[in-house]
Amino acid sequence: MSIWKRIGEAISALVAKGEALSSFFERRRTPPEKSVAFTIAVVGLGAKMAKADGLVRPAEVAAFRDVFRIAPEDEAAAARVFNLARQDIAGFDVYARRIARMFADQPEVLEDILEGLFTIAMADGHYHEGEEGFLRKVAEIFGIGQASFGCIEERHVSGRPRDPWQILGVPRDAEMPAIRARWRELIRANHPDMMIARGLPEETVALANSRIAAINQAWEEISARAGNRRAIG
């Protein structure tokens, strides 16, 4: 059964009980149900965030395809989650707090969710003040510190010089062996197999690949600068 069919069943059960989508996160979930919770978390918070800048743009809705691989036959289920979240009177902070409780023992999953939200926020090529405020508040509720938030933000926000040290989360004066070790650590932690092992659905492989590409690019840039310094010296 696909992730979206499982989500469809979960949503149907909620609707039958007359419960809001945000109540889905009240109960503790275990695999494979956690993959359903992760997907609903990203789509639900994404639906709330899509209005953070005052408009819901087609690019932001389509951005879910950059986070999840949605087959044509599953688009109706994905749209249903998105629309239910938009219609839910609960604020995004209610969603975020319930999600934070659900994944309290998996902080890396909360960073995965934030990463997906950044992908949606940047789908139209602009980082709006409302979106930035939304993402910072979600990060605060998730317990994600400024350093980790900065790493994720640096990977996604375009239109300004990229800081490869920030992307890897290392100080600019760090020695190359330490930077190399950090790069390898990030590559291992963000491999698609590791994300799936955390309980994320297979459909999030695109998110993992995008993250790894940014990490590799940062490492290559730092390595090139170090090589140029040695050549000059």
Closest to 13 in 3D by CA, of 36, 46, 31: 36
pLDDT computed for residue 54 by the predictor? 54
The predicted-structure confidence for 176-212, as pLDDT tens digits, reads as follows 999 999 999 999 988 888 888 887 777 677 778 888 9
What confidence tens digit (pLDDT) does each residue in 128-155 have? 888 899 999 999 999 999 989 998 998 8
- H runs (alpha helix) in the chain: 3-17, 33-49, 58-62, 64-67, 75-87, 92-102, 107-121, 129-142, 146-156, 164-168, 176-189, 192-197, 205-232
pLDDT above 90 covers a percentage of the chain that reads 27
Total structural domains within the chain: 1
Radius of gyration in angstroms for the set of CA atoms belonging to the chain, rounded to a whole number? 18
Compute the C-alpha angle 129/133/137, nearest 5°.
Answer: 170
| Average pLDDT, rounded, for the chain | 83
14-66 pLDDT, tens digit each: 888 888 888 888 665 666 577 888 888 888 888 888 766 555 556 666 667 66
pLDDT of residue 15: 83
- Residue 229: per-residue pLDDT: 64
Identify the pLDDT of residue 219: 95
**In what helix (H) or strand (E) does residue 170 lie, and over which residues does it extend?**
none
Q: What is the pLDDT of residue 207?
A: 79
pLDDT at res. 140:
97
Which residue range is the domain that position 179 belongs to? 3-232
Indicate the DSSP class of residue 68. S
Looking at this protein, which amino acid is placed at residue 108? Answer: E
